[in-house]
Amino acid sequence: MQLAPHAELMKLREGYGGIESWHTIVARLNIGLVAANAAGKEDQAKNIRIGLNAMLKVQTRYDKTGKWGLSGSDLREVGDGLVLTDNLQLSLTRRQFAQAIDYVWQHAAK
C-alpha cells in the first residue's frame, strides 16, 4: 500500500501518469488525513491537506491543458504528504489504520 502511491507520483513527475495515478495518490492522502485527524495529529493532518490541495491543482491543470503533470512545489507537497501518511501508518495500530481506510472507502469512493 505504501509503494504504489510513490510509484504513481514518479509517473506523474516523468509525464506518463494519468487518472489512475491521480486517484491512487489522492486515495492514499485521504486515508492519511482521516487517520491523522482520528489520532489527533493536527500538524500531520495540516501537511497532508497541503498535499491534497496540490493534487487538486494537478487536476485543475489537467482540466485546462489535457496533460497530467506536477510543478516543483506540487511534487514536494504531495511527496511530503505521502511520507507523512507512511509514517503515520507505522505509528498506528492496524485497526486504527484500517478504520481510516474503511472511512475513505465508505465516503470518498462513492
Residue that the C-alpha cell 500531520 belongs to: 44
| Residue 92: DSSP 8-state | S
Which residues constitute the domain of residue 74?
3-107
Is the pLDDT at 2 greater than 90, yes or no? no
The neighbour count for residue 33, using CB atoms within 10 Å, is 24
Residue type, 75: L
In the prediction, which pLDDT does 108 show? Answer: 79
Q: What's the number of domains the chain is made of?
A: 1
Percent of the residues in the chain that have a pLDDT greater than 70, as a whole number: 97
In the prediction, which pLDDT does 1 show? Answer: 60
pTM > 0.85: yes
Residues 63-101 pLDDT 10s:
999 999 999 999 999 999 999 999 999 999 999 999 999
Residue type, 29: L
In angstroms, the Cα distances linking 60 to 63, 65, 70, 105, 106 are 5, 9, 11, 23, 25
- Rounded to 10 deg, the angle between the 19-38 and 42-65 helix axes is 160
